[in-house]
A and B are shown apart, each in its own frame.
Chain A
Amino acid sequence: MSILVGKNTKLLVQGITGGAGSFHAKQMIEYGTQVVGGVTPTRGGEKFEGVRGGKVEVPVFDTVDGAVKATGANASVIFVPPPGAADAILEAFDAGLELVICITEGIPSMDMLGVRRVLEAKQAEARVAGKPIPRLVGPNCPGVITPGECKIGIMPGHIHKAGHIGVVSRSGTLTYEAVGQLTALGIGQSTCVGIGGDPVSGMDFVDVLELFQADPDTHGVIMIGEIGGGAEERGAQFIKEKMTKPVAAFIAGTTAPPGKRMGHAGAIISGGKGTASAKIDALTAAGAKVAPTPSDMASTLKSMMK
């Protein structure tokens, strides 16, 4: 078991003929992800080639709707450049996909405000109709991986090991750092979710923690946050009220100066809000154990596991 992605995930790659899209589509196919189609407007009818054992051919479509109808895909990953990325997300949800993972970095906030509004309406409709809730992961994220089953995104597959720890993070390389530490200790991962470093995005810590709490195969969680916004504080509230599984956390940016954007568009302390210390205090008060340094993420979780 796992959350969000697994053996039954049938994936479309939007932007499969671009530089990043084609490189990572090949990597995902090699890892064993079921890549059933690609989408690049005006390139419909072409074939994309990957290698898994022997040669694998993936059909390319002009539209997501056409691709879903022809392949039965249930998820999409987006490598479309920023000017067209929000449009690509909307197209994916309109075609009925339940999971959309957007890797693209640099989408304007104004575009994402519109996307969020449409997504929230679709989620409300799905709840009323008793259908699966459509979910967006990212943008500006490394993706989602269930080790040994399905890799969607740009993370290095080889550092992962199948197991029972969930990882959720706003940072790509810091996720790899945590996974590397876990694997070095012989501890495997159920699913690792990169929720991305943008100020306006899809799934939040709370959304992912909720899935980990409900997943019988996830026995503990590492949560990696950073300065800016209030997502970690909301996560802490959820941990306090609903989580029974151990959560180890790390918050990056204790030494970050206020008012400066630290790489990620969302990593900025503004008006005294979003500091690392406020987040660490909230998580500690909620019963999570916060790793004193980024080198101690896995060992901190290990100390909490029975």
Chain B
Amino acid sequence: MKIHEYQGKQIFAKYGVPIPKGYPAFTVDEAEAAAKRLATETGSPVVVVKAQIHAGGRGKGGGVKVAKGGAAEARQLAEKILGMQLVTHQTGPEGQKVRRLYIEQGLEMVTEMYLGMVVDRDKRRIAFMASTEGGVDIEHVAEHTPEKILTVHVDPTVGLSSYQARELAFGLGLMKYGKETVAKFVRLMAQLYEAFVKEDCSLLEVNPLVVLKNGDVMALDAKINFDDNAEFRHKNWKELQDKDEEDPIELEAAQAGLNYVSLDGNVGCLVNGAGLAMATMDIIKHAGEKHGVAPANFLDVGGGATQEQVTKAFSMILKSPKVKAIFVNIFGGIMKCDVIANGVVAAAKELGLKVPLVVRLEGTNVELGRKILSESGLAIQAATTMADGAKKIVDAVVAGGAK
């Protein structure tokens, strides 16, 4: 789960991580008021107007602007940014609509750095990554100049050790700003580590982390992703969720307890199990690439889905206008084939089946499942294997005149 920068900064503040003063704004009026308030509080008219969307690369896309002339200028910038379709390298070409702003005090910095944290799955440790190349696309740095990224891994039983933080501080060359700055950086890393663990983060990035003229170290950005598995112990996550930032169909699926990812193709897929669902997408693409046939979605109904969930899942596929044919691929283990068959039939009877449907059933209660489908009166093509199913689905789409 992703959250906005201003929400991330509220979490930073809770752990004592130094951040600039700032206020979220949902309207142009609120933005102007926030700029006035900041001018009074800081004694400087300079504020930064920052678009709040979940994707990175906001600055380059024109979503972050500095207002040197005070509240009136901040208002003008807010008018421009609020409501714009912000396109960054992470949003895709259609961009993301800006619905929230963060108005922050402007600060003069002497250097910008990058500091990030992830769960390093290969080393099974939390890793800190730091680089002097701050404020830019860190993926670019990782690809072209990996030697500029410094890394330390933290032992979960003892937590972050001060020497590890010092290693990064010295590696970043912070001694040239004085030993106080080194100490401040070490303190900030300890605070971030505590936040990462206690808030169950899967990723945390500060880009840029800056050193100010007076030697202070400050987090100018905050990007936090949470580990979805830990939701049960964080009741506040529901409030932090911004549904506008999410794909409405994926959201609807998640509420029904289904794993769904929208894709660009034209074949709706209903599968049990994540691996089989991915493999089903792969085999459709493999069989249909030359004919313009590709998967329209990833959908894993899981091992323990009820008939209602299957009905819901199949309804979602039926309602999608881009779907020209549907492939149901089930290898029943815990999932029983009759449950799938009943769900498919219920949804098709309710909404009508207007596109070709290919079904491949295997595993637990397969005979019962096939019987339910054949007695339903629906126009269903049975497939014996995944390959057979993929071939039939491609033929069906081609026969229907897909491009």
Which residues of A does B touch, CB under 8 Å? 20, 82-83, 106-110, 112-114, 116-118, 120, 142, 154-156, 159, 169-177, 180, 197, 199-200, 224, 226-231, 234, 250, 252-257, 259-267, 271-272, 276, 292-296
Known: A106-B229, A174-B273, A261-B228. 10 other contacts (CB 8 A): A107-B229, A113-B156, A142-B333, A154-B303, A154-B334, A156-B332, A171-B278, A173-B273, A262-B261, A293-B286
Residues of B within 8 A of A112 (CB): 124
Contact B275 A172 (CB under 8 A): yes
Contact B275 A197 (CB under 8 A): yes
With A255-B294, A272-B139, A272-B143 as known contacts, state yes or no: A200 contacts B119, CB within 8 Å.
yes
CB-defined contacts of A197 to chain B, threshold 8 Å = 274-275
Report chain B residues within 8 Å CB of A173. 271-273, 275-276, 303, 331, 333
| Interface members, chain B 259-290 (any A CB < 8 Å) | 259, 261, 263, 271-287
Give the CA-CA distance A234 to B123 in the complex, in Å: 12
Task: Check B157 against A263 for contact (C-beta < 8 Å).
Answer: no
Against A, the Cβ 8 Å flags (1 = close, 0 = not) of B31-58 are: 0000000000000000000000000000
Query: How many B residues touch A, CB cutoff 8 Å?
Result: 59
Q: Tell me the minimal C-beta distance from B234 to chain A in angstroms.
A: 10
Closest 6 CB pairs of A and B: A171-B275, A263-B274, A173-B273, A295-B387, A174-B275, A294-B279
Main secondary structure on B side of the interface with A:
mixed
Asked whether, in the complex, the Cβ of A176 is within 8 Å of the Cβ of B119, the reply is no
Most buried by A among B276, B304, B363: B276
Alpha-carbon gap, A224 to B227, bound state (A)? 25
Question: Is the beta-carbon distance between A82 and B232 smaller than 8 angstroms?
Answer: yes
A21 CB, nearest partner CB in chain B, Å = 13
Distance A234 CA – B284 CA, assembled complex (angstroms): 29
B363 contacts A200, CB within 8 Å? no
Any A CB within 8 A of the CB of B202: yes
Residues B229 and A82 in contact, CB atoms below 8 Å apart = yes
Of A83, A180, A226, A252, the most chain B CB neighbours within 10 A belong to A252
Contacts of B271 in A (CB 8 A): 173
Residues on the B chain within 8 Å of A259, using CB: 90
Decide yes or no whether B211 CB sits under 8 A from chain A.
Answer: no
A108 and B155 contact, CB distance less than 8 A: no
B106 within 8 A of A: no
Using Cβ atoms and an 8 Å threshold, which residues of chain A touch B274? Answer: 171, 197, 226, 262-264, 267
Chain B residue nearest to A24 in the complex (CB): B334
CB contacts (< 8 Å) of A292 on chain B: these are: 286
Q: Contacts A156-B363, A171-B273, A271-B139 hold; do A262 and B278 have CB atoms under 8 A apart?
A: yes
- Establish whether residues B229 and A293, one from each chain, have CB atoms under 8 Å apart when the complex forms: no
A118 to B261, CA, bound (A): 36
Task: List chain A residues, Cβ under 8 A from B304.
Answer: 20
Given contacts A255-B282, A293-B282, contact A266 B385 (CB under 8 A): no
CA distance A200 to B227 in the complex (A): 12
Q: Which residues of A contact B263 (CB under 8 A)?
A: 255, 257
Q: Hey, which chain A residues are within 8 Å of B272, CB to CB? A: 173
Find out whether the CB atom of A263 lies under 8 angstroms from the CB atom of B232. Answer: no
In the complex, the answer to whether A256 meets B275 with C-beta atoms within 8 Å is: no
Distance (whole angstroms) from the CB of B291 to the closest CB of chain A: 15
B396 contacts the other chain (CB 8 A): no
The answer to the question of B126 belonging to the interface, with a C-beta cut-off of 8 Å to chain A, is: yes
Kindly state the separation between the CA atoms of A11 and B197 in the bound complex, as whole angstroms.
34
Query: Are B119 and A253 touching (Cβ within 8 A)?
Result: no
Cross-chain contact A250 with B279 (CB below 8 angstroms): yes
With contact pairs A174-B275, A255-B281, A271-B139 given, residues A108 and B121 touching in the complex (Cβ less than 8 Å): no
When C-beta atoms are compared, the residue in chain B nearest to A155 turns out to be B333
CB closest residue in chain A, given B333: A156
- Residue of A114, A169, A271 near B156 (CB, 8 A) is A114
Is B295's beta carbon under 8 Å from chain A?
A: yes
Check if A295 sits within 8 Å of B385, measured CB to CB.
yes
A-B contacts, 6 of them at CB < 8 A, read: A113-B124, A156-B364, A226-B274, A227-B278, A230-B121, A254-B285
Determine how close the nearest CB of chain B comes to the CB of A299; give it in whole angstroms: 10
**What CA separation (Å) do A262 and B121 show in the bound complex?**
17
Q: Which residues of B contact A263 (CB under 8 A)?
A: 259, 273-275, 277-278, 298, 300
CA separation between A109 and B282, bound complex, in Å? 28
Across-interface contacts of B155 in A (CB, < 8 A): 117
Residues of A within 8 A of B287 (CB): 293
B125 within 8 A of A: yes
Q: Inside 8 A of A155's CB, which chain B residues have their CB?
A: 333
Q: Cβ of A170: which chain B residues have Cβ within 8 Å of it?
A: 275
Q: Are A169 and B275 interface neighbours, CB within 8 A?
A: yes
Tell me if B256 counts as interface (CB < 8 A to partner A). no
A114 neighbours in B (Cβ, 8 Å): 156-157
Which A residues are CB-close (under 8 A) to B110? none
A200 near B124: Cβ-Cβ < 8 Å: yes
Closest to A108 in B: B230
Contact of B227 among A109, A118, A294 (CB under 8 A): A109
* Shortest CB distance B126–A (Å): 7
Residues of B within 8 A of A229 (CB): 121-122
Contact A262–B298 (Cβ < 8 Å): yes
Smallest CB separation, A201 vs chain B (Å): 9
Are B386 and A295 in contact (CB-based, < 8 A)?
yes
Note all chain A residues with C-beta closer than 8 A to B156: 113-114, 117
- Decide if A174 touches B279 in the complex (CB within 8 Å): yes
Closest Cβ of chain B to A137, distance in Å, is 16
Distance in angstroms from B267 CB to nearest chain A CB is 11
Contacting residue for A199 out of B121, B126, B283, B303, CB 8 A? B121
B90, B230, B304, B390, most chain A CB atoms within 10 A: B230
Residues of B within 8 Å of A267, CB to CB, are 274-275, 278
- Contact flags B51-85 to A (C-beta < 8 A → 1, else 0): 00000000000000000000000000000000000
Chain B 359-374, CB within 8 Å of chain A: the 1/0 string?
Answer: 0001110000000000
Residues B175-229 near A (CB distance < 8 A): 197, 200, 202, 227-229
Which B residue sits closest to A159, measured CB to CB? B363
> Within 8 Å CB of B259, what residues of A?
262-263
B233 on interface, CB distance cutoff 8 Å: yes
The answer to whether A172 and B303 touch across the interface, beta carbons within 8 angstroms, is: yes
CB closest chain-B residue, reference A267: B274
Q: Report yes or no: B278 in contact with A177, Cβ–Cβ below 8 A.
A: no
B142 at the interface (CB under 8 A from A): yes
Query: Which chain B residues lie closer than 8 Å to A272 at the CB level?
Result: 139, 143
CB distance from A294 to the nearest CB of B (A): 4
